[in-house]
A and B are shown apart, each in its own frame.
Chain A
Amino acid sequence: MTLNQISVFVENNPGKLMQLTDVLAKHQINMRALSLAETSEFGIVRIIVDDTKGASNVLTQEGFIHSITQVLGVAIPDEPGGLNEVLNILSGTGMNVEYMYAFLGGKETRHAYMIFHVQNPAAAVAALAAKGIDCIDQESLTAL
């Protein structure tokens, strides 16, 4: 129950991010979630799309260096303490959250959605499931 995230290398210069979004727009690729990690010279754009393989092929053709990473998508009840509970479960496994970011769930407003990157996604999914928290898969993400 993990999601495929595409991480793209982008120079931290004017217009470079737009070159990427241009390519995605040209090929009708819709981003479901996006986050940007940057240094002063380069950034990594992390995106989740419906068709990972298709998007990856397009990026290769267009000369973008990228990789695919397994991440967790977690629906968190949109109420105080929601995120705290999830982090509590993950920290109980001794796992470090390397990065995380939020995205909107479209029509579904009772939950907030978070993407987590941890060392062992499968173990994290199991730990969350044991406490009754489900991770979403690529299909349910598309349906949102």
Chain B
Amino acid sequence: MERYYQPEIECAPVEKIKALQDERLLKQVQHVWDNVPYYRHLMEEKGVTPADIKGTQDLHKLPFLTKDDLRKAYPYGLMGKPKKDCVRIQSTSGTTGKRVVAFYTQHDIDLWEDCCARAIMAAGGTEEDVCQVSYGYGLFTGGPGLNGGSHKVGCLTVPTSSGNTERQIMFIQDLESTILCCTPSYAAYLGETMKEMGLTPDQIPLKAGIFGAEAWSEEMRQDIQNTLGIKAYDIYGLTELSGPGVSFECSEQSGMHINEDHFIAEIIDPNTGEVLPEGTKGELVFTSLTKEAFPLLRYRTRDICVLSRKKCSCGRTFIKMAKPMGRSDDMLIIRGVNVFPSQIEAVLLNAGYPANYQIIIDRVRNTDTFDVQVEMTPEMFTDNVGEIQKRQAALEAGLRSMLGISAKVVLVAPKTIARSEGKAVRVIDKRKI
């Protein structure tokens, strides 16, 4: 039976959701105009005033915000409430440049936790569950978001935070945790470690996992589901918008419902900025409707994605977004071809290798070299050199057909590729361009 945290809005008729969005958008534009000079200035440059925005149909008239704007406005430039009204900051990992700092009023935190609670209930969570939150706590939004959501659902919450794998497994086994929240790469690592310890899926009490904060493929989902004996649900979010819970998967496991009472999603052409019709692939743009302290309008996520309002069997009416096909900042251009790490993962998993790989790109005499390091597994090893080379060649052929360019597969010893317990380091780009 499908469970909802706030069924009155999650399953509301589409017209009701649209009307709510119209009403909230007007208020939010006025709030930003009055309180965020940085964005007001962008609007003025574009010749737009709050009076021009009469509903969601006018959204396209508003200027975009990019990560670059967030860096320029760092730290307080996009704050929508005075410091005395704000109670928290969260921050991005800052791996791609300067950190982004986002602010929250108590009201913002409350709504964010509601969004996470919806995700936990969509994954089957109830007050009977023991929910282990193995996302990092602290500046990272993963831990605090799911922690708050888990409280709201009434789960017994186990705030292990990330790392210390042995202790994670001890708590899963001793407390009989039924829901696990962490990054998919850490879930895969936990699964692998438990398998090595000789634990079979029926000896692991977990029944569901809520995994996000990095790209993962359908094959990786199958892998995690099989080793841990769970259903693995995707969750999506950005610190800039609140954190995890901007969208979440339901029992259909076929795309994530966007919490449309709090966010408006648009798909645009990343080159022209033009809004594309539903069902077209493009860059995902979000407008936050209810955030007080960090009210971003038309924020460009860099995620390439498709939206669909096809009726969902779970009963929710919120529009669904497909798993992002890659981030434009994740995307590698190798010998002029767009390559997403998720494609490489898919080839490996199809060939029976675990998704432990590292892409190493370099430029030698003006040509990109493209190596994919793959860890050897007992299943793939044989005493026969020729046979191993055949398997290596098969992987290379798989990569070539998936990517359209050739990569060199380098087989390495187990556990030589560093697994980080937060986000996995998949790409080492040594090119100096």
Q: Which of A3-11, A73-81, A108-116 contacts B (4 or more CB under 8 A)?
A: A3-11
In B374-428, the 8 Å CB interface with A consists of: 376-378, 381-385, 388-389, 410-416
Contacts of A53 in B (CB 8 A): none
Interchain CB contact (< 8 A) of B389 among A5, A16, A39, A64: A39
CA of A37 to CA of B414, assembled, Å: 19
Q: Is the CB of A69 within 8 A of B383?
A: yes
Number of interface residues of A (CB under 8 A): 20
Contacts of B388 in A (CB 8 A): 42, 44
Which single residue of chain A is at the shortest CB-CB distance from B414?
A63
Q: Is the CB of A65 within 8 A of B413?
A: yes
Which single residue of chain A is at the shortest CB-CB distance from B415?
A63
In B38-82, the 8 Å CB interface with A consists of: none
Which single residue of chain A is at the shortest CB-CB distance from B375?
A65
A41 on interface, CB distance cutoff 8 Å: yes
Contacts of A37 in B (CB 8 A): 385
Contacts of B412 in A (CB 8 A): 11
Contacts of A44 in B (CB 8 A): 383, 385, 388
Q: In angstroms, how far is the closest chain B Cβ from the Cβ of A49?
A: 15
Interchain CB contact (< 8 A) of B381 among A16, A39, A63, A67: A67
Q: How many B residues are at the interface, by size bracket?
A: 10 to 19
CA of A69 to CA of B410, assembled, Å: 24
Q: Is the CB of B383 within 8 A of A41?
A: no
Q: In angstroms, how far is the closest chain A Cβ from the Cβ of B278?
A: 48
CA of A16 to CA of B416, assembled, Å: 12
CA of A11 to CA of B377, assembled, Å: 13
Contacts of B381 in A (CB 8 A): 7, 9, 65-67
Q: In angstroms, how far is the closest chain B Cβ from the Cβ of A46?
A: 7
A139 on interface, CB distance cutoff 8 Å: no
Take A9-B376, A39-B389, A42-B388 as given contacts and tell me if A64 and B383 are in contact as well, using a CB distance cutoff of 8 Å.
Answer: no
Contacts of A41 in B (CB 8 A): 410-411
Question: A14-28 vs B: 1/0 string, CB under 8 Å?
Answer: 001000000000000
Q: Is the CB of B413 within 8 A of A64?
A: yes
Q: Is the CB of B383 within 8 A of A11?
A: no
Contacts of B385 in A (CB 8 A): 37, 39, 44
Question: B355-382 vs A: 1/0 string, CB under 8 Å?
Answer: 0000000000000000000001110011
Q: Is the CB of A98 within 8 A of B376?
A: no
Q: Is the CB of B413 within 8 A of A63?
A: yes
Which single residue of chain B is at the shortest CB-CB distance from A41?
B410
Interchain CB contact (< 8 A) of A16 among B383, B410, B413, B415: B413
Q: Is the CB of A46 within 8 A of B383?
A: yes
Q: Is the CB of B413 within 8 A of A11?
A: yes
Q: In angstroms, how far is the closest chain A Cβ from the Cβ of B356?
A: 13
Q: Is the CB of A67 within 8 A of B382?
A: yes
Q: In angstroms, how far is the closest chain B Cβ from the Cβ of A52?
A: 14
Take A39-B389, A65-B376, A65-B377 as given contacts and tell me if A10 and B413 are in contact as well, using a CB distance cutoff of 8 Å.
Answer: yes
19 contacts between A and B (CB under 8 A): A5-B383, A9-B411, A10-B413, A11-B412, A11-B416, A39-B385, A41-B411, A42-B411, A44-B383, A63-B413, A63-B414, A64-B413, A65-B376, A65-B377, A65-B381, A66-B381, A67-B382, A98-B384, A117-B383
Q: Which residues of B contact A (CB under 8 A)?
A: 376-378, 381-385, 388-389, 410-416
| List of 10 A-B pairs having minimum Cβ-Cβ separation, nearest first | A7-B383, A69-B383, A65-B381, A65-B376, A37-B385, A9-B376, A63-B414, A9-B381, A11-B413, A42-B411
19 more contacts with CB within 8 A, not counting A11-B411, A42-B411, A67-B378, are A5-B383, A7-B381, A9-B376, A9-B381, A9-B413, A16-B413, A37-B385, A41-B411, A42-B388, A44-B383, A46-B383, A63-B413, A64-B413, A65-B378, A65-B414, A67-B381, A67-B383, A69-B383, A98-B384
